[in-house]
Amino acid sequence: MDAPIGVFDSGIGGLTVAKEIMRQLPGESLVYFGDTARVPYGSKSKKTVCKYSRQIAKFLLTQKVKAIVIACNTASALAMEELEEMVDVPVIDVVQPGARMAAASTRNNKIGILGTRSTIKSGIYERYLHKINPELTVVSKACPLFVPLVEEGLFEDRITEDVVGRYLHDMKEYEIDALVLGCTHYPLLRGVIGREMGEDVKLVNPAYETAKTLKDMLKENELLASGQNKGEHKFFVSDGVEQFLSFANSILPYSVEQTTVIDIESY
Amino acid sequence: MDAPIGVFDSGIGGLTVAKEIMRQLPGESLVYFGDTARVPYGSKSKKTVCKYSRQIAKFLLTQKVKAIVIACNTASALAMEELEEMVDVPVIDVVQPGARMAAASTRNNKIGILGTRSTIKSGIYERYLHKINPELTVVSKACPLFVPLVEEGLFEDRITEDVVGRYLHDMKEYEIDALVLGCTHYPLLRGVIGREMGEDVKLVNPAYETAKTLKDMLKENELLASGQNKGEHKFFVSDGVEQFLSFANSILPYSVEQTTVIDIESY
């Protein structure tokens, strides 16, 4: 089925999920929406994040998408159920695939979760993990400085090492052996996080698991693109900030030349 | 004139301006609006910040305000002219009062400006400063990590010292002797910034200067509140986040018991 897949995020972070989908499903076309006018979602309430997610889903449906991927941990945590009820196409979130992978990876049943304030406060990872295995110990920590550090480009820096050391202190105390990077920006800090935690701790990147889940779902529902062509992608944003294009071009495997600004508040 | 004064910001930062107005004008009533659903403005485009500011001004006019204070450096930088044209009541911004104070304070004619990405990119401080004195050397620097550090409560911390040292490196090279804290959150880091720059550098807090400018303007236009009563204040937000109330109660001289959530997108 040659309709595109809708992918959305509060801003640019979800491009890491889009990239993984393009890699695992090169024949699929994507319609990406980044809510650059209202970014970030991580410090906002459930009510507001649900409202924003509904507006975005309405917009994506005007693009005739065959499935929607919520490429944002906060929106996955707060708006997944509501979107599933609202739309007729399958919805994939980033939280459940990450939780499944973490549960499958741990050997000592101790899992760590890093995320934004809203994701951590929602308790969503704990809920999914305990549904899989009630015996799991889950240690979670909000890391509000990680996104601005990534956006300042401080991937490898003494300041980042200090901040990571501070946030991960509890994780080390509890001797977790699987750690979910529960925000799309965090995999960009995996170098520093990996060194801090040591090589015995498996770092889970939900972007990779999400693309895999999407692929399985499309197969199962006979929704895979039929042709042998490469997918064609469109990018929409709610605010025309330069940062979006430069980030897109720094991480995606091909050159993004155009983004279209839409008035998301009118949906 | 007993109508209230409208004060707005992208979120909680403008409360530092509201506090200064309450201190200098205890008889005035305030209607404060914090755009907590769309915060922050500092990384957004002029078009988007103007649109948000127009919606807020429309809301404040429904509250019959006699003047509007833009208690946000980014909105002052990007939307001041547009709001002045749009509304019939006087508009006070935070940038011009801060620029005037900096120009009056410097002895060696070298001034530093710290602000968000959008404020610095707008070049607004340079424009106002060069209008006052074309001979001034102005060194400006965007400090995107300051707001998240303040919101993490790291006012006095080794990480904050490191970040401040990094951002202020150029300011020290240029030997500026007046430094504008050009974002409402930054005065909360004045301890660390002051130690880094040394005591010969005057730190300018636009909140203080803005309240003073407002007072002069109300007097001149015979708009001061007539009674001997204390002002009564109302607080509105676009997202009901707990952070707002706790920040308000930590910095304001009296207890804020209630905030009203409004749908700002409908204005």
- The per-residue pLDDT for B72 is 96
Contacts of A181 (CB under 8 A, 6+ apart): A114, A187, A189, A190, A193, A203, A204, A205, A206
Per-residue pLDDT of A229-245, as tens digits, reads 788 999 999 998 788 88
Count of positions (residues) in chain B = 267
The SS3 of residue B137 is strand
B246 CB near a chain A CB, below 8 Å?
no
Rg of chain A over all Cα atoms, to the nearest angstrom:
18
Contact yes or no for B152 and A145 at CB 8 A: yes
Contacts of A243 in chain B (CB under 8 A): 43
How many cross-chain Cβ pairs, A to B, lie less than 8 Å apart? 62
A38 to chain B: closest CA residue = B38
Query: Residue A144 is nearest to which of B37, B152, B265, comparing CB atoms?
Result: B152
- Residue whose token pair is 């199962």: A220
Q: Which tokens in the block code for residue B17? A: 């301006």
Question: In chain B, where do the E strands start and end?
Answer: 5-9, 30-34, 67-70, 91-93, 110-115, 137-142, 178-181, 202-204, 234-237, 260-261
Q: Which tokens in the block code for residue B261? A: 């959530």
Per-residue pLDDT of A131-153, as tens digits, reads 999 999 999 999 999 999 998 98
Contact yes or no for B37 and A44 at CB 8 A: yes
- Residue whose token pair is 């698991």: A209
Sign of CA dihedral B214, B218, B220, B226: negative
Backbone angles phi, psi at A146, to 5 degrees: -65, -45
Q: Is B72 one of the annotated active-site residues of the chain?
A: yes
∠ Cα B121 A52 A145 (to 5°): 50
Report helix angle A73-86 to A46-62, nearest 10: 60
Cβ burial, residue A179 (10 Å; 0-12/13-18/19+)? buried
The CA-based diameter of chain B, rounded to the nearest angstrom, is 52
- The per-residue pLDDT for B195 is 97
What is the C-alpha to C-alpha distance for residues B242 and A131, in angstroms, rounded to an integer? 29
What is the C-alpha to C-alpha distance for residues B55 and A108, in angstroms, rounded to an integer? 53
Stretch 153-212 of chain A: residues touching chain B, C-beta under 8 Å: 158-159, 162-163, 166
What is the C-alpha to C-alpha distance for residues A49 and B37, in angstroms, rounded to an integer? 9
Per-residue pLDDT of B67-125, as tens digits, reads 999 999 999 999 999 999 999 999 999 999 999 999 999 999 999 999 999 999 999 99
Report helix angle B15-24 to B206-220, nearest 10: 50
Contacts of A36 in chain B (CB under 8 A): 44
Q: Are A28 and A51 in contact (CB under 8 A)?
A: no
Q: Are B100 and B69 in contact (CB under 8 A)?
A: no
What is the C-alpha to C-alpha distance for residues B240 and B252, in angstroms, rounded to an integer? 19
Q: Which residues of A are catalytic?
A: 72, 183
Helices (H), chain A: 15-24, 46-62, 73-86, 95-105, 117-122, 124-132, 146-151, 158-173, 190-197, 206-220, 242-251
Per-residue pLDDT of B125-157, as tens digits, reads 999 999 999 999 999 999 999 999 998 989 999
* Single-letter amino acid code for the residue at B43: S
Per-residue pLDDT of A23-66, as tens digits, reads 999 999 999 999 999 999 998 999 999 999 999 999 999 999 99
DSSP structure class, residue A186: G
Chain B: nearest CA to A238, how far in angstroms?
9
- Residue whose token pair is 């018991």: B257
Per-residue pLDDT of B11-44, as tens digits, reads 999 999 999 999 999 999 999 999 999 999 998 9
pLDDT at A228 over 80: no
Stretch 14-53 of chain B: residues touching chain A, C-beta under 8 Å: 36-39, 43-45, 47-48
Query: Residue B44 is nearest to which of A145, A162, A239, comparing CB atoms?
Result: A239
A49 to chain B: closest CA residue = B37
A123 CB near a chain B CB, below 8 Å?
no
B262 to chain A: closest CA residue = A48
Query: What pTM value is reported for the model?
Result: 0.91
Contact yes or no for B151 and A144 at CB 8 A: yes
To test the contact with chain B by mutation, choose from A116, A163, A185 the residue with the greatest count of B C-beta atoms within 10 A, namely A163
Contacts of A9 (CB under 8 A, 6+ apart): A15, A17, A32, A33, A34, A35, A71, A72, A75, A184
Active-site residue, from B183, B188, B193, B207: B183
Contact yes or no for A148 and B151 at CB 8 A: no
Contacts of B245 in chain A (CB under 8 A): none
- Mean pLDDT across the stretch B52-72? 98
The SS3 of residue B3 is coil
- The per-residue pLDDT for A59 is 98
Contact yes or no for A45 and B145 at CB 8 A: no
**CA–CA distances in Å: residue A24 to residues A210, B50, B139:** 10, 41, 47
A166 to chain B: closest CA residue = B159
What is the C-alpha to C-alpha distance for residues B125 and B99, in angstroms, rounded to an integer? 6
Contact yes or no for A162 and B162 at CB 8 A: yes
- The per-residue pLDDT for A259 is 94
Query: Residue A162 is nearest to which of B38, B43, B158, comparing CB atoms?
Result: B158
ipTM: 0.88
pLDDT at A250 over 90: no
- The per-residue pLDDT for A39 is 93
A35 to chain B: closest CA residue = B38
Per-residue pLDDT of B175-215, as tens digits, reads 999 999 999 999 999 999 999 999 999 999 999 999 999 99
End-to-end CA distance of chain B: 26
**CA–CA distances in Å: residue A46 to residues A20, A53, B3:** 27, 10, 35
B265 CB near a chain A CB, below 8 Å?
yes
Backbone angles phi, psi at A70, to 5 degrees: -85, 95
Active-site residue, from B67, B68, B72, B171: B72
Chain A: nearest CA to B40, how far in angstroms?
8
Q: Which tokens in the block code for residue B71? A: 């208690």
